[in-house]
């Protein structure tokens, strides 16, 4: 954060809340560059989504002996949440170093979507955390600074600092805005095909693929070509070309994983069925294209006027558990404490009602 004014006096705000949306890569990042510090080996292009939002509150306090981190009301500690906690604390450490403060923080984060389903919660989570923690520590970072900070925790999070379409070049320090959502308004349907967290995390999966897949060099060579074509398609509002690039990017990335040793297969039987539903819709003249990340869910991009038809088709696909509907999401932004408290209160209420229904 070389360009920042580091505010040590007057006293920094100490508390800040932020909201960030997850993004789905239309052109995928898979693999780390040799430049280190979690920079991507290939360029990626994403759409930020309003249905997948994380709200985070960070408060630096003088009476804490260690950082306290809770996600959806559950404390992340040395148990199952230990790894996630370490990633959060590492980001806080980078912020403390830049701000020149030694205070511990109380972090509360709330995902307004099912975390356990393995959706892209790290992207919205680290984008919201980077913003809230930096401001609470008294820094005045630029959006690029925040994107770089988030990238070090999770490269896809770098793109969630931006609304609409964002790009992250290979080896880049931070992501950049490509186009506003209203330049080319699209809808995304997310077909959930399995519950429970994914078996192999993205970082580990990428390292394994790079080490063992004979297709990995081909992926590194072809991914930038697809990226350039897709970028032109977004700027030209050419949906058919964007959709074709998006599907090829997904299938190239997953083929690289299939060829790893041992193989890495994130797909569920219902993933393939959902893909078949999408190709059948296209045969019927409905413009819809699929993409998949490091998990079994199928995300379908379409024009807003066809979103409901596509959602219904996915809902009746065997093995699809539910379908989330999303439009483009906003850039990461600061919110008032009251907005954070309201969202948390609503979530707690919904939980009580669901439990009461059983
Ligand atoms: C398949 O950003 O989760 O979703 O940088 O190691 O935290 P780390 O990985 P992460 O990887 C995302 C991979 C992807 C494609 C994408 O979002 O570009």
Distance CA 113, CA 102 (A): 33
Q: Which of 38, 118, 155, 291 has most ligand 1 atoms within 8 Å of its beta carbon, as the pocket-test mutant?
A: 155
Query: Which positions ≥6 away from 195 have C-beta within 8 Å?
Result: 116, 117, 321
Mean predicted confidence (pLDDT) in 133-158: 98
The more confident residue out of 291 and 77 is 291
Q: Which atom of ligand 1 is nearest to the CA of 294?
A: 1
Split at pLDDT 50, 70, 90, the class of 78 is low
Split at pLDDT 50, 70, 90, the class of 5 is very low
Among residues 49, 52, 27, which one has the least CA distance to residue 231? 27
Distance CA 219, CA 19 (A): 34
- pTM for the full predicted model: 0.93
HEC letters along 6-43: ECCCCCCCCEEEEEEEEEEEEECCCCECCCCCCCECCC
Phi-psi region of 57 (alpha: psi -120 to 50; beta: other; left: phi over 0): beta
The more confident residue out of 357 and 252 is 252
Q: What is the pLDDT of residue 355?
A: 39
- H helix runs in the chain, sequence order: 82-99, 121-136, 143-153, 202-212, 216-236, 239-258, 269-283, 307-315, 337-357
Q: Tell me the pLDDT tens digit for each residue of 340-351.
A: 998 887 776 665
Average pLDDT in the chain:
92
Q: How far is the CA of 150 from the centre of ligand 1 (A)?
A: 12
Q: Is the pLDDT of residue 121 over 90?
A: no
Burial of 151 (0-12, 13-18, 19+ CB in 10 A): buried
Question: Is 41 in contact with 316 (CB distance < 8 Å)?
Answer: no
Mean predicted confidence (pLDDT) in 98-110: 97
Distance CA 315, CA 318 (A): 8
Q: What is the pLDDT of residue 7?
A: 40
Distance CA 105, CA 264 (A): 37
Q: Is the pLDDT of residue 85 over 60?
A: yes
The more confident residue out of 227 and 358 is 227
Q: Which of 41, 156, 294, 298 has most ligand 1 atoms within 8 Å of its beta carbon, as the pocket-test mutant?
A: 156
Query: Which positions ≥6 away from 339 have C-beta within 8 Å?
Result: 17, 19, 55
Q: What is the pLDDT of residue 352?
A: 53
Split at pLDDT 50, 70, 90, the class of 354 is very low
Q: How far is the CA of 294 from the centre of ligand 1 (A)?
A: 8
Mean predicted confidence (pLDDT) in 68-97: 90
Distance CA 234, CA 286 (A): 19
CA angle, residues 338, 133, 153, in degrees to nearest 5: 125
Token code pair at residue 14:
């100490």
Mean predicted confidence (pLDDT) in 98-114: 93
Q: What is the pLDDT of residue 205?
A: 96
Q: Which region among 81-85, 218-222, 235-239, 348-352 has the lowest average model confidence (pLDDT)?
A: 348-352
The more confident residue out of 33 and 118 is 33
Q: How far is the CA of 206 from the centre of ligand 1 (A)?
A: 9
Q: Which region among 128-132, 193-197, 278-282, 352-356 has the lowest average model confidence (pLDDT)?
A: 352-356
Q: Is the pLDDT of residue 12 over 80?
A: no
Distance CA 96, CA 60 (A): 10
Distance CA 298, CA 195 (A): 13
Q: Is the pLDDT of residue 1 over 50?
A: no
Q: What is the pLDDT of residue 118?
A: 60
Please tell me if the CB atom of residue 203 comes closer than 6 angstroms to any atom of ligand 1. Answer: yes
Mean predicted confidence (pLDDT) in 308-318: 98
With tokens 């980001």, the residue in question is 91
Among residues 193, 188, 185, 163, which one has the least CA distance to residue 324? 188
Token code pair at residue 59:
């408060």
Q: Tell me the pLDDT tens digit for each residue of 151-207.
A: 999 999 999 999 999 999 999 999 999 999 999 999 999 999 988 777 799 999 999
Split at pLDDT 50, 70, 90, the class of 256 is very high
């Amino acid at each position: 954060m070389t360009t920042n004014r580091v505010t040590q006096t007057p006293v920094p705000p100490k508390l800040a809340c932020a909201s960030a949306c997850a993004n789905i890569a239309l052109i995928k990042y898979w693999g780390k560059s040799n430049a280190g510090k979690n920079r991507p080996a290939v360029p990626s292009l994403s759409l930020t989504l309003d249905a997948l939002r994380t709200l985070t509150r960070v408060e630096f306090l003088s009476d804490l002996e260690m950082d306290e981190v809770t996600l959806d009301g559950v404390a992340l500690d040395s148990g199952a949440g230990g790894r996630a906690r370490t990633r959060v604390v590492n980001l806080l450490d980078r912020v403390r170093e830049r701000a020149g403060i030694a205070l511990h923080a109380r972090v509360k984060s709330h995902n307004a979507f099912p975390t356990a389903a393995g959706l892209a919660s790290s992207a919205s989570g680290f984008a919201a955390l980077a913003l809230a923690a930096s401001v609470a520590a008294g820094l005045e970072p630029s959006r690029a600074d925040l994107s770089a900070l988030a990238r070090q925790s999770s490269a896809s999070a770098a793109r969630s600092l931006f609304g609409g379409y964002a790009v992250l070049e290979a080896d880049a320090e931070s992501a950049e805005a490509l186009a506003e959502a209203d330049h080319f308004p699209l809808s995304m349907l997310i077909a959930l095909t399995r519950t429970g967290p994914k078996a192999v995390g993205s970082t580990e999966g990428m390292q394994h693929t790079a080490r063992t897949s004979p297709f990995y060099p081909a992926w590194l060579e072809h991914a930038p070509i697809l990226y350039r074509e897709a970028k032109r398609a977004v700027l030209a509002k050419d949906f058919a070309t964007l959709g074709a690039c998006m599907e090829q990017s997904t299938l190239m990335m997953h083929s690289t994983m299939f060829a790893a040793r041992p193989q890495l297969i994130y797909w569920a039987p219902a993933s393939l069925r959902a893909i078949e539903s999408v190709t059948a819709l296209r045969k019927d003249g409905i413009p819809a294209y699929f993409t998949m990340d490091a998990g079994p869910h199928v995300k379908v991009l379409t024009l807003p006027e066809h979103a409901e038809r596509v959602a219904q088709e996915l809902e009746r696909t065997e093995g699809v558990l539910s379908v989330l509907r999303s439009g483009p999401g906003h850039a990461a932004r600061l919110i008032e404490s009251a907005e954070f408290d309201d969202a948390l209160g609503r979530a707690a209420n919904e939980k009580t009602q669901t439990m009461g229904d059983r």
